[in-house]
Amino acid sequence: MKKWLLALSLFSSAAWADIAVIVHPSNNDVLNKPTISRLFLNKAKTFPSGSPVTPLTLSEGNASTDEFNGKVLNKTSAQLTAFWAKLVFTGKGQPPKALASDSDAIAAVANDPSAIAYVDASAVDDSVRVVATF
Amino acid sequence: MKTKFALFPLAGLLTFPAFADIQINGFANLIAGMTLDDDDTVYGYDDGFSFDPASVFGLQVRGEVNDKLSATAQLVGRGSEDYSADFEWAYMTYALNHTTNISAGRLRVPLFKYSSSLDIGYAYHWLTPPDAVYGIDFNNIDGVRIDYSNYSGEWEYGAQLTFGSAKADTTISGTPAALELDNVVALSFEATRDWFSARTLYARATTSAANEEFDTFVGGMAQFGGVVPNALTSAAGFSVDEDTGTFFEVALDVDKYDWFIGAEYTQTEVDNAIIAENSAWYVTAGMRFGKFTPHITFEREEGDNANQLALVAALPSTIATGDPDTDGTWASIYQGAAGIAAGQDLEVSAVTAGLRYDVEPGFALKADVTWYSDDLDDTNDATLLKVGVNYTF
């Protein structure tokens, strides 16, 4: 029985790897979940410090994308598509640029002080700063 | 020829920076419907399968001139207009700061909760929003809109102020008329917190509707001003000529994701005109089971013609001037007025049950059945089946 539970917990931690939200090392903002959600949903156009923000996402179908959308944005991919459709067709905003991989996202954030992105926590290196994990 | 070809790469180089910031998006709602009984008609459908009444295709192009200024154009083809493509939106937006945008041109008036995404069927659960509330003659306006949005704590809130004028086709007592709205001012507020959202709008406009047949009739009534007391007042009360129209809307929504419930209410009045006071509302609810969203909606619309009936009641049904022609003309004008005023009465309701299936992000299949009932004349009752596809990219 215990073995089963152990196996189950191993399995679930493997299936639900942590997501790290990353920014440029020069960015000292402290960000909580509602703030991060606003930055990714075009509701806040700047970091709390007032500097401009460029959110970046990972592509549709990436496991981290589904997890970030669910845990941080509280939306399924269908809901998020509907959300962006509304903004796009009212001229209020465009969805963030989607990058192909964790390494692309880390490279983009390391080179852009305005960037914020999420990656699989295990992929993070010291070229970026982790502001939150989920 | 040679020169032309040589110019192409150069032209490409020159225009590239501008093209780099152009976004193209599109949507398609292909909706087919039919009434389930012979000879029944409702919302433009009859007992033959038709794509025309509600199918819409659109393409939006948005170019960013710079960080602050953008231009948006939306080319829309509607089945109801033989898919002839029209620029329904064409406006420029200037971002004053992070909370305030100013747009000018031809743009959408945010009259309803779903106004901004009215043509984006993918954004809501029905195939088409409830006709009782959303069946209005115009949705776009030539003018200026100021959009403000901000957040505080857990609340997100916004306001829109719209000015402008609009022209649209309408009907006055059953015949086509040219609706003209001038000096439109609309102010709306909205607030959202997690699963709760609310919004409201108040608008007013100088309303005119030119219709030759009706205007001739009203003119005929006015000519009796010298003979019939109140004929001038009643004629003015019938005509739709620079009368003040007001529109009020309120909507509430709870969306707990697994289930949702929403309601919207609207009230329209045009002072001193044949158009009856109109109130309409719907309540809708649904549940989400993975990719399936079953939902149900009740809608109701009422036209209150008490003011119009009072104008008729103030008139004598017959007069005796001594001239039989004059007396006869008046009698027929009176009969006509009574008929038109009575015809403004409206009491309709409908129940819609539907299912949405999300195939993939941006692509949904839907089926709705609507049981429409006319409480004043049940020969107008109808059952409507619609199936359709919503796509957005």
Residues of B within 8 A of A46 (CB-CB) are: 98
CB contact under 8 A, A85 and B362: yes
pLDDT along chain A (134 residues), means of 10: 48 63 94 92 90 93 90 87 85 87 94 95 93 94
Q: Locate tokens 């949702």: which residue?
A: B260
Residue pair A48/A29 in contact by the 8 Å Cβ criterion: yes
CB contact under 8 A, A85 and B392: yes
Residues of B within 8 A of A45 (CB-CB) are: 98
B288-329 per-position pLDDT tens digit:
998 999 999 999 999 999 999 999 999 999 999 989 999 999
Please, what are the domains in chain B?
90-392 (2.40.160)
Residue pair B164/B128 in contact by the 8 Å Cβ criterion: no
% residues pLDDT > 90 (chain B): 81
Residues of B within 8 A of A41 (CB-CB) are: none
Tell me whether residue A105 is exposed, middle or buried, using C-beta atoms within 10 angstroms of its C-beta: 0 to 12, 13 to 18, 19 or more.
buried
Positive or negative CA dihedral for A84, B90, B133, B158? positive
Residue pair B334/B317 in contact by the 8 Å Cβ criterion: yes
% residues pLDDT > 70 (chain B): 95
How large is the ipTM?
A: 0.74
**Å between B304 CA and nearest CA of chain A:** 34
pLDDT value for A98: 92
Residues of B within 8 A of A90 (CB-CB) are: 108, 116-117
A43 has a chain B CB within 8 A of its CB:
yes
pLDDT value for B319: 92
A59 has a chain B CB within 8 A of its CB:
no
Annotation: CATH topology of A17-133: D-Maltodextrin-Binding Protein; domain 2 (3.40.190)
pTM (two decimals): 0.87
B187-207 per-position pLDDT tens digit:
999 999 989 999 999 999 999
In 3D space, the residue among B195, B194, B124, B197 whose CA is nearest the CA of residue B158 turns out to be B197
Which string of b and e fits B69-79 if b means at least 16 CB within 10 Å? ebbbbbbbbbb
Closest to B122 (Cβ–Cβ): which among A45, A74, A82?
A82
Nearest-by-CA chain B residue for A52: B98
The tally of CA atoms less than 13 A away on the side-chain side of residue B116 is 18
pLDDT value for B57: 96
Q: Minimum mean pLDDT among B16-30, B50-64, B145-159: which range?
A: B16-30
